[in-house]
Amino acid sequence: MLRLSPSALRLRKMVARGELTIIPVGFRCHTKIELSKQLGLKGKSLPFDNGFFPPQSVASIMRNPQINLHSNHRVCIKYESYSDPAHGNGIKFEGSTYDEIDEFATDPNNSDINMYLDATYGYYTRDLTHNFVLAHYNWHKFADAKYHRHIDERSNVINDINDVLNRRVTRMFEACNASRHIIFVYAECQQYNYMAVDNIHLDLKNLAVIRTEVDRIFPSKSLVVNMADVDSPKKILRLLNIKGICK
């Protein structure tokens, strides 16, 4: 059995008591995975766990915590390492259709399959209101059979995703409201300056837009930080101590 350090034990107790809530807020899926690995904490699923959430999308959901994908989504083609003359290096999602992607995604072993489907063979699905792109939800026929509920009934698939995301948004707000202190953790994508959705460029370095909304909703009890600031229990406790929260 892994022996926890005194800092890890203290952090675990703070989270278990509801004294501290830690929320991963993007940019990519690995933020939650890294937090779990570095801190030894496992929490319930939250809205920003699976997909691509630039700071502007997180802020938009904090302002308007309602997701409606029914007539408000579009599947996309993903371009990693995209270069734009005006904006530099980024990642781009270009709007497409199910039929077009199915036409390209003909073999799960194709070298370019990740442009059209994620690692679990799900469509990249953009919310047109908040401008995030989901991964690991809206599965293609190549996906493992355990994901195939409603796979041939697209409206029911979207209903399921919508319900899951809204439950996770509600769960996040309930946890934050009940907690004495909240840390929102964002992992920057160091090689990219922006995420483009069609012709919209969203700055991946602009944490100020999240801080503005967090300070408005949870004044005096919240922090917005980069992953590098809290990638160990000792770092989190030191940060809370500096802020006068944990002494």
pLDDT in tens, 78-120: 999 999 999 999 999 999 999 999 999 999 999 999 999 999 9
Q: Which long-range contacts (CB under 8 A, 24 or more apart) does 87-91 make?
A: 87/193, 87/194, 87/196, 87/201, 88/193, 88/194, 89/191, 89/192, 89/193, 90/192, 90/193, 90/194, 90/195, 90/196, 90/201, 90/204, 91/52, 91/189, 91/192, 91/194, 91/195, 91/196
Q: Is residue 112 part of a domain?
A: no
Number of domains in the chain: 1
Bond from prior residue into 27 cis (ω within 30 degrees of 0): yes
221 within 8 A of 60, measured Cβ to Cβ = no
In a domain, 225, yes or no: yes
> Is position 133 within any domain?
no
Q: Residue 209 belongs to what domain range?
A: 6-53+169-189+205-242
39 is a domain residue: yes
Q: Please tell me the least confidently modeled range out of 101-105, 127-131, 186-190.
A: 186-190
- 3-state class (DSSP) for residue 72: coil
Q: Is residue 229 part of a domain?
A: yes
Model-level pTM greater than 0.85? yes
